[in-house]
Structure 1
Amino acid sequence: MADPHIQSSMDWCDYFTVIIYRCGFVLAAIMTALLPYFPEIAYLGLLCAALCCASSLHIYLKNIRFLLQFATWTALLCHLVGMPQLAIGGALLTLGGLSFKEYFCFRIFGLNLQPLFLALLWLAEVLNYSLLLNGLSVISALLFALLAIQKWRMPLHFDIGDKTKYQI
């Protein structure tokens, strides 16, 4: 997580992972908005968004980092064995957890509730409740878009923070 006042040296891998992480939120915004209209495309896109974010996490605490990455790996395994509802649940768990983490950096109104919105979105998708799905997809997509805009407005080193604080 960012320590904006600290600028650790960054190599190409740091730049690459920060860009991948931020692209994950852009993809999440687009795919969440498309979920009610193109569920198959949005489903795969949300898996990719979670994979982008989980593969490039810069979180100091290894337990939190592991939990969010494990949710994405579980989502991918569920996708491979033909359990799409569990797969999308795992992807949304990762994206919701990261949204909650990012709330503490940006204080975007409602972003701390994104995990709840995404849980309800998943439930609406599983139960095929289109009215709730439409409303929650708009709210979640807007929050992801606001988060992505805020992330891209700041320097890349803000995502890295102090490299000496990472638990290996």
Structure 2
Amino acid sequence: MADPHIKPEMDWLDYLSVCVYRMGFVLAAPSVLLLPWDTVYPAQKMCFVAAIMCASCLHIYMKPFRLLLQAATWGGLGCALFGFELFGLGGAFITLGGLCYKEYFCFRVPGLPLQPLFLAGLWFALALGILPFAQILAAIAALLFLIVSIAKWRMPLHFDIGDKSKYVV
């Protein structure tokens, strides 16, 4: 998480990683919205790509939180590769929901701290085949992803990096 008053010297990899992270939120919105109507799993794959984009480019100072959010996505991808797509989707939701919770402290978007609960409810609704409930939760979650992605793109790129000396490596 960044300190907006600090403008670090950024190289091209910093710019690339910030853009990939932000594009992950952009992709999360339509992929989550499409999940309840998905019959062939492309929306799940898009959710994985969104989570991978965010997890691979995290700018969080504390290593334990950074590794936890990254491990959820990579563990979920492993589950999906071995045929447990729904468990894998849960791993992607842990990462995306956790990052929305983190972003609440930057943007104070109402409802954003509840995004992990919306995604958990969506996961259970999909697992139990309760499609009307899944459609409502997917719409709420997608709207929150859209709002946070717009908020992220409106701020300068260096806000995502902050003070490089604070990162635990």
Q: Calculate the TM-score normalised by the size of structure 2.
A: 0.98
Residue 116 of structure 2: aligned partner: 115
State how far apart, in whole Å, the 2-side matches of 1:26 and 1:125 are. 22
Q: For 2:34 and 2:86, how far apart are their aligned partners in 1?
A: 17
Identical residues among aligned pairs (%): 57
Q: So what's the TM-score if we normalise by structure 1?
A: 0.99
Match of residue 150 from structure 2: 149
**Residue pairs, 1:3-152, within 5 angstroms:** 3-39=3-39, 40-152=41-153
Counterpart-to-counterpart distance in 2, 1:82 and 1:17: 30
Aligned equivalents of 1:137, 1:4: Cα separation in 2: 32
Q: Residue 36 of structure 1 aligns to a residue in which SS?
A: helix
**Aligned-pair distance for 1:38?**
2.2
CA distance in 1, matches of 2:3, 2:124: 36
Distance 1:158 1:126 in 2: 38
Structure 1 residue runs without a partner (length 5+): none
What is the alpha-carbon distance in structure 1 between the residues aligned to residue 11 and residue 95 of structure 2?
26
Paired residue total: 168
Alpha-carbon shift at residue 2 of structure 1 (Å):
1.6
Give the partner amino acid of 2:38: F
Structure 2: stretches of 5+ with no match in the other structure: none
Q: How many angstroms does 1:76 deviate by?
A: 0.9
Q: How far did residue 79 of structure 1 move?
A: 1.1
Read off the aligned partner of 2:105 and give its amino acid letter.
F
Task: Report the counterpart of residue 163 of structure 1 in structure 2.
Answer: 164
Alignment RMSD: 0.6
Cα distance between partner residues in 1 of 2:2 and 2:152: 11
Measure, in 2, the Cα distance between the counterparts of 1:126 and 1:138: 17
Q: Distance in 1 between matches of 2:74 and 2:36?
A: 24
Q: Aligned letter for 2:52?
A: L
